[in-house]
Amino acid sequence: MAVAVVLAGATSAFAQLPGAVFTTTMTGDRVNANIYQAKCGVNGVWLDGGPGPNAPQDAAGLPDGDYYFQVTDPSAKTLLSTDAVMNRQFHVAAGIISGLSGSGNHNTSVDLDHGATTVELCAFLDTPNPGGVYKVWITPVGKFSGDPTKVDNACGHGCFHGFIPSFSKTDNFKVKGGPSAACLEILKVIDSNGNGQLDGNSVDPLVSWPVTIVDPLGTSNTFWTGVEKECTFAQLPVGLYTITEGATNGTGTYAVTINWLDGTYLKIPDTSVLVRVKNNATRELVFGNAPTK
């Protein structure tokens, strides 16, 4: 029988934020002991909140408003979420998650029990915890400490990456099999002279450029490129992935000039690249674009 493990709100440290937050499948089903088969996709980890299964609609409702979320290791010392805080934003109405808000850009689905919106936690890095345990946090936007345009925020004094425990709720979960070494590193550059080369004329890295990943099961995830080289997607199932860059980040019109995969230029640059992921493999892909007149 599926059991929801709701750790948030169980102690006085979280009493200032009533209601419940927990992880589920994309359709709101609870997972036995909060142990998931994968991090991402249909079998991955999704954020839910408010009433539990078979509970009244007003049971354990979260206060209405806008929230940020993050994924960390169990100690909260290591931030695992990879996108800017403002991209991890959702709205609560009538005590349940009702959808994304602000700049929120994660995949969403529907909790079939209460009609709440579920929010996919991916992308996030592998936990350094040897048991494969993670912690998800939520906090009201007005209680966040830091700059939400950044991925991480050093706040100190018992604050973790901009999240203050007394104003937050958390839930621990585990991904079966623990961490994996397989990952995709995806970067974006501007090929300013259009010569199709990664050289001194390339602006690297470029931030906030949309890239969509379709995994071997056909599940799609969109993320925004960051300011540093990183394992954008980790603990990946083996198989063929379709990686597609957006046409623009809103700063102009661009044409693709570079596909650079694992140190090799692909002969015919395209906005979509097929990348096969193998066990314990790291694949690095760079998209380069030149501005068009």
- For the stretch 43-57, pLDDT in tens is 789 999 887 656 665
| pLDDT tier at 30, thresholds 50, 70, 90 | confident
Percentage of the chain modeled with pLDDT above 90? 41
| pLDDT tier at 208, thresholds 50, 70, 90 | confident
Whole-number pLDDT of residue 233: 65
State yes or no: pLDDT of 34 exceeds 80: yes
State the average pLDDT for the chain: 82
Whole-number pLDDT of residue 13: 34
Percentage of the chain modeled with pLDDT above 70? 83
Q: Is 50 helix (H, G, I), strand (E, B) or coil?
A: coil
pLDDT tens for 126-160 read 888 888 899 999 999 999 999 999 999 998 778 99
Whole-number pLDDT of residue 223: 75
CA distance 204 to 198: 9
CB 3 within 8 A of CB 152: no
CA distance 293 to 291: 7
State yes or no: pLDDT of 178 exceeds 70: no
Lowest-pLDDT range, 41-50, 165-174, 186-195, 216-225?
Answer: 216-225
Give residue limits of the domains in the chain.
12-175, 183-291
Q: Which of the pair, 266 or 250, is modelled with greater confidence? A: 266
State yes or no: pLDDT of 231 exceeds 60: no
> For the whole prediction, is pTM greater than 0.75?
no
Phi and psi for 143 in degrees, rounded to 5? -100, 0
Which CA distances in Å does 274 have to 257, 266, 280? 16, 11, 18
**Domain 183-291 falls under CATH 3.40.50.280:** no
Which of these, 6, 20, 2, 1, lies nearest to 173 by C-alpha position? 6
pLDDT tens for 97-127 read 999 999 998 989 998 877 899 999 998 988 8
Q: Would you state the structure tokens that stand for residue 43, as one six-digit string?
A: 């079998």
State yes or no: pLDDT of 228 exceeds 60: no
Whole-number pLDDT of residue 206: 66
Whole-number pLDDT of residue 236: 67
